[in-house]
Structure 1
Amino acid sequence: MARALLVVDVQNDFTEGGALSVAGGAALAERITALLGRHADEYDLIVGSRDWHHGDDDNGGHFAGAAGPDFVDTWPVHCVGGTAGAEYHPALDTSVVDVHVFKGQGRPDYSAFQAVTEDGTALPDLLAERRVTTVDIVGIATDHCVRASALDAREAGLDVAVYEDLVAGVDPDRSAAALDDIRAAGGHVDRSDMDEGLANPGGAVL
Structure 2
Amino acid sequence: MSRALLIVDVQNDFTEGGALAVAGGDAVASAISAFLSAHAGDYRVIVASRDWHDAEGDNGGHFAETPDYVDTWPVHCVAGTPGADYDPLLVTDAVTHHVHKGQGRPAYSMFEGATDAGETVGAILTAAGVLQADVVGIATDHCVRASALDAIAHGVQVRVLTDLIAGVAAEPSAAALAELAHAGAELTQANPESAESGTA
- Structures share a fold, TM > 0.5? yes
Q: What is the distance in 2 between the residues matched to 1:27 and 1:122?
A: 28
Please report how far the alpha carbon of residue 119 of structure 1 lies from its aligned counterpart in structure 2 after TM superposition. 1.1
Question: Counterparts of 1:167-182 in structure 2 under 5 Å?
Answer: 167-182=165-180
CA distance in 2, matches of 1:195, 1:64: 42
Is the alpha carbon distance of 1:90 and 1:168 closer, same or farther for their aligned partners in structure 2, counting shifts above 3 Å? same
Provide, for residues 123-179 of structure 1, a one-character-per-residue CA deviation record: whole Å limited to 9, x for no partner.
111111111111100000000000000011111111000011110000100000000
2:140–2:165 Cα contact (<8 Å) kept: yes
2:23 is the counterpart of 1:23: yes
How many residue pairs were aligned?
Answer: 197
Cα separation, partners in 2 of 1:103 and 1:50, compared to 1, 3 Å: same
Q: Residue in 1 aligned with 2:112?
A: 114
What's the % identity of the aligned pairs?
56
8 A contact 1:160–1:187 mirrored in 2? yes
Corresponding residue for residue 182 of structure 2:
184
Letter in 2 for 1:52: W
Residue 3 of structure 1 aligns with an amino acid whose one-letter code is R
2:84 to 77, 83, 86: 86
Question: 2:164 aligned with 1:166, yes or no?
Answer: yes
Taking a change above 3 Å as real, the CA distance of residues 48 and 194 of structure 1, as seen in their structure-2 partners, is farther
Partner Cα distance (1:54, 1:127) in 2: 27
Where do 1:52-131 residues align within 5 Å? 52-65=52-65, 68-131=66-129
Unaligned 5+ segments in structure 2 are none
State the Cα distance separating 1:115 from its structure 2 match.
1.0
What do residues 10-60 of structure 1 show as CA deviations (whole Å, max 9, x unaligned)?
A: 000000000000001111110001100111111111111000000101111
TM-score normalised by the chain length of structure 1? 0.92
**Contact 1:62 1:74 (8 Å CA) reproduced:** yes
Any stretches of 5+ residues in structure 1 without a counterpart? none
Q: Is the 8 A contact 1:35 1:194 kept in 2?
A: no
Q: Is the 2:28–2:164 Cα contact (8 Å) retained in structure 1? A: yes
Aligned-partner Cα distance in 1 for 2:57–2:167: 26
Counterpart CA distance in 2 for 1:192 and 1:120 is 31
* RMSD value, Cα: 1.4
Which one-letter code corresponds to 1:114 in the other structure?
A: E
8 Å Cα contact 2:46-2:97 kept in structure 1? yes
- The CA distance in 2 between the partners of 1:9 and 1:195, in whole Å, is 25
**Misfit runs of 4+, over 3 Å:** none
Partner of 1:34: 34
- AA matched with 1:123: V
Structure 2 letter corresponding to 1:186: G
Which of 129, 147, 150 matches 2:148?
A: 150
Give, in angstroms, the shift of residue 2 of structure 1: 1.4
